[in-house]
Amino acid sequence: MDLKRNSFLAIIALLLTGSCLADDMDALSKELVNPIGMKWKLNNYIEIAQMSGAASKDKKSSTVWNIQPVMPIMLNNGSGFTLMNRPSLPVFLNKPMPMNNELNQSNNFDRVSGIGDLTLQSSLGKMPKTSWGSYMWGTGLSLTLPTASDDKLGSEKYAAGPSAMLVGFTENMTFGLVAAHEWSFAGNEQRQDINRSMLQFIYYTQLGGGWQIGDNPQWSADWDNVGGQKYTMPIGLGLFKTLKIADSPWRLGITPRYYLKSNGQWGNDWSINFTITAVINSPISM
């Protein structure tokens, strides 16, 4: 009888532990999609895309790895504000680029690889609670630096402008917008000036057990371009799982995206995007 009772108690304890771990993963998965969440993390976004346009009669594939650390710092002055820093660096593993800017389908192409321009968004925000959940707002600065290793992979321009965000949280949903605009103010005078708006949509639903569906696609408008070259507008829906690997939290996901609008000369038709996020320990005590 003691063996049966102990076995029964062990099974109950195991089920309760599993339930607690699932709840912990749910809470962590919501934290990881919060733009001013207090977890430091290293986002890795790998995009495999099909490209087409007026520059070529053939469709070609590209692979880009976007590295985005997220480094929040809570201000210890009783204000409840958080300083959010999100640098983003694209690494082009395989980027087909036309060798000239002529809009003809007999263009020759280079396969270019290297790093692109570094973008940094720094925002100051806070997260008040409401009767239906909570929301987060923030405002700050967006900055682009010409760090590209090849002139075909970057703008050769310094650019800056304002940014703002508004995100809501319920028990099972996260939804919101992050917006920014940049103008160039220095750099290679032979290159086109930057006059660019960005709008990122955030929409996620919790499924339980650390599972989520949703996406955070970014739309952009390059106002100094004309016609079909002006807008980039992807939409997508992905599946994500937050779990522990060797006692460390990770978030993994896969997202197909379709481009409603893309650069008419040479841009993405669709893409498959892989997300690998590592939670890291903050070196700054909070």
pLDDT tens digits for range 77-106 = 667 788 889 999 999 999 988 776 555 555
What is the rounded CA–CA span in Å between residue 8 and residue 3? 8
Q: Is 19 helix (H, G, I), strand (E, B) or coil?
A: helix
What CATH number does residue 86 fall under? 2.40.160.40
Q: Using the predicted structure, report yes or no on whether residue 24 has a pLDDT greater than 70.
A: yes
Distances (CA, A) of 97 to 56, 209, 221, 265, 273: 10, 43, 20, 11, 20
**Best-predicted range by mean pLDDT (4-18, 70-84, 201-215):** 201-215
Q: Using the predicted structure, report yes or no on whether residue 13 has a pLDDT greater than 90.
A: no
Q: Which domain holds residue 239?
A: 2-280
Q: Is 32 helix (H, G, I), strand (E, B) or coil?
A: helix
Q: Tell whether 286 is covered by a domain.
A: no
pLDDT for the residue numbered 266? 81
Q: Using the predicted structure, report yes or no on whether residue 161 has a pLDDT greater than 80.
A: yes
What is the rounded CA–CA span in Å between residue 72 and residue 30? 16
Give the total number of structural domains in the chain: 1
Q: Tell whether 154 is covered by a domain.
A: yes
Residue closest to 240 by CA, chosen among 51, 80, 31 = 31
Q: Tell whether 25 is covered by a domain.
A: yes
**Model confidence band, residue 10 (pLDDT cutoffs 50, 70, 90):** very low
Percent residues over pLDDT 70 in the chain: 86
In tens, the pLDDT along 262-276 reads 877 788 999 999 999
Instruction: Give 61 or 7, the one with higher predicted confidence.
Output: 61
pLDDT for the residue numbered 34? 75
In tens, the pLDDT along 29-69 reads 877 887 667 789 999 999 999 998 877 778 899 999 999 99
Phi, psi of 137 (to 5 degrees): -130, 155
Mean per-residue pLDDT for 278-285?
Answer: 77
Q: Tell whether 36 is covered by a domain.
A: yes
Q: What is the pTM of this model?
A: 0.85
Q: Tell whether 157 is covered by a domain.
A: yes
Q: Using the predicted structure, report yes or no on whether residue 18 has a pLDDT greater than 50.
A: no
Strands (E), the chain: 40-53, 56-74, 82-98, 109-115, 118-126, 134-145, 157-169, 173-187, 195-208, 211-215, 218-222, 231-236, 238-245, 248-261, 267-280
**Model confidence band, residue 180 (pLDDT cutoffs 50, 70, 90):** very high
Report the Cα 274 to chain-centroid distance in Å.
11
Q: Tell whether 126 is covered by a domain.
A: yes
pLDDT for the residue numbered 145? 97
pLDDT for the residue numbered 3? 52
User: Which of left, alpha, beta for 210 (phi over 0: left; psi -120 to 50: alpha)?
Assistant: left
User: Would you state the torsion angle of the CA atoms of residues 128, 121, 237, 59, taken in this order, to the nearest 10 degrees?
Assistant: 170
Q: Is 196 helix (H, G, I), strand (E, B) or coil?
A: strand
Q: Tell whether 285 is covered by a domain.
A: no
Least trusted range by pLDDT, from 94-103, 173-182, 239-248, 273-282:
94-103
What is the rounded CA–CA span in Å between residue 2 and residue 235? 58
pLDDT for the residue numbered 17? 39
Mean per-residue pLDDT for 192-217?
Answer: 95
Instruction: Give 31 or 241, the one with higher predicted confidence.
Output: 241
Instruction: Give 127 or 284, the one with higher predicted confidence.
Output: 127
Least trusted range by pLDDT, from 124-138, 182-196, 267-281:
124-138
Tokens, residue 168: 């809501």
Average pLDDT, the chain: 85
Instruction: Give 227 or 262, the one with higher predicted confidence.
Output: 262
pLDDT for the residue numbered 36? 65
Q: Tell whether 136 is covered by a domain.
A: yes
pLDDT for the residue numbered 7? 47
pLDDT for the residue numbered 78? 65
pLDDT for the residue numbered 267? 86
